[in-house]
Amino acid sequence: MMGLRLEKGKRPVVNILPVEKQTQVIAALTEGCSIRSTERLTDVHRDTVMRLGVQVGEGCRRLHDAMMRGLQVSLIELDEQWAFIAKKQKRVHQDESPELGDCYLFLALDATSKAILSYVAGKRNGENAVALATDLRARIVNRPQITADGFPAYVGAIDEAFSVDVDFAQLVKVYQATPGNEAAVRYSPGSIRGIEKTIVCGHPDEEKISTSYVERVNLTTRMAMRRFTRLTNGFSKKLTNHRAAIALHVAHYNLCRWHETLRCTPAMALGVTDHIWTIGELIEAALAAAEPAPIVPEPHRGMSAAKAKGEKGGGKPRLYVLKGGKGGRVSGR
């Protein structure tokens, strides 16, 4: 990472940030520190911190794209996580940039290895749902079981990306307000009143229709990225920087972060690497990563999750509605 230092009466001097400082900066950013906190901790100017974070983040995007290909993944969970750019949506004027306001992070998580397979940052609309599903489809080579929340755009997006080569279900959690004084419960989660499962196509294993793992990753995201932490002034001001920070977080989460349950990193559990990456190794690989060639999707091969368990079923996809979650009555046609 280079910068220019101007001295009066002399030619500009090129400053190169030492590798040790680069490692300290990226380590602080991936542990949830803000730009100014990182500046105070590392004694590196905030503008340099920002430039390094964006540069490494963009490299992490290319690195993720190159590594997450040809994957065998059986269970996938989808979810979206809210953030905003510069200001909240209700304060955005019509003549301002469409990038401002709400900005959702769409995630596709392997429920087995806990690895983030695909991600998209943008508005919560059908276009970005299709972008996530299409990218996910290109990265996996088998027929997966996918569970998403109740966002309606997922139905068309999964159909467009996978056709019938998928076992897809949606899970909707019904919440009820927490009783109490409004100020005391304003930021408290509501209690779950019920769960509704809808099998959209294929024959998914009903016991594995869940979004619990990807929702747990949402907590990791809010804790590890200051831009996602609520009730702070660390939110992103530009969409480009926001996306770079997400790419850095995803690469660090997959390659460097030790998972307590797996006893390894998600990338090791997925089989795309054989060791825990250091921050220095991540920086070096990200800065050296070239733009990979576009992925050419391969036809899926495999059977549904229900068939793999020996359950009966076949032919045309069927629609089920399960009320009350596991153990509830099944209606289908």
**Residue showing tokens 């905003």:** 84
Q: What is the reported pLDDT for 54? A: 97
Whether 137 has a pLDDT exceeding 80, the answer reads yes
Measure the N-to-C terminal CA separation of the chain; round to a whole number of Å.
61
pLDDT averaged over the chain? Answer: 87
CB 255 within 8 A of CB 267: yes
| pLDDT given at position 278 | 97
Confidence of residue 179 (pLDDT cuts 50, 70, 90): confident
Q: Residue 207 pLDDT more than 60?
A: yes
pLDDT higher than threshold 90 for residue 11: no
What is the Cα–Cα distance from 77 to 82, expressed in whole angstroms? Answer: 17
pLDDT band at 106 (very low <50, low <70, confident <90, very high): very high
Residue 224: name the closest of 105, 110, 79, 122 by CA.
105
Looking at residue 194, its pLDDT comes to 85
Q: How confident is the model at residue 158 (pLDDT cuts 50, 70, 90)?
A: very high
Q: Which domains does the chain have, with CATH numbers?
A: 2-179+189-293+321-332 (3.30.420.10)
> Taking residues 205-209, what's their average pLDDT?
95
Quick one: average pLDDT of 227-231?
92
- pLDDT computed for residue 184 by the predictor: 66
Give the pLDDT confidence score for residue 182 in this predicted structure. Answer: 72
Per-residue pLDDT, 276? 97
Token pair belonging to 136: 């996910």
- Greatest Cα pair distance, the chain, in angstroms, is 83
pLDDT of residue 325: 38
Does 328 score more than 70 pLDDT? Answer: no
| Single pTM value for the model | 0.84
User: Any idea which of 63-77, 150-164, 283-297 has the lowest mean pLDDT?
Assistant: 283-297
Mean pLDDT of 80-109: 96
Reported as a pLDDT band with limits 50, 70 and 90, residue 299 is: low
Quickly state the pLDDT bin for 53 (edges 50, 70, 90): very high
What does the pLDDT average to over 257-278?
96
- Give Cα separations from 316 to 165, 208, 300, 333 (angstroms): 12, 21, 17, 11
Q: Which helix (H) or strand (E) holds 156?
A: helix 153-162
Decide if pLDDT at 126 tops 50.
yes
Predicted pLDDT of residue 199: 95
Structure confidence at residue 316 (pLDDT)? 43
Looking at the chain, the whole-number percentage of residues with pLDDT higher than 70 is 82
Q: Which tokens belong to 211? A: 């979004």
pLDDT in tens, 139-151: 999 999 999 999 9
**pLDDT confidence bin for 209, thresholds 50/70/90:** very high
Q: Which pLDDT does position 307 carry in this prediction?
A: 57
Position 319 scores a pLDDT of 44
Q: Take residue 166 and report the two structure tokens written for it.
A: 């998928």
Output the pLDDT for position 296. Answer: 75
Burial of 283 (0-12, 13-18, 19+ CB in 10 A): buried
Going by pLDDT thresholds of 50, 70 and 90, the confidence category of residue 82 is: very high
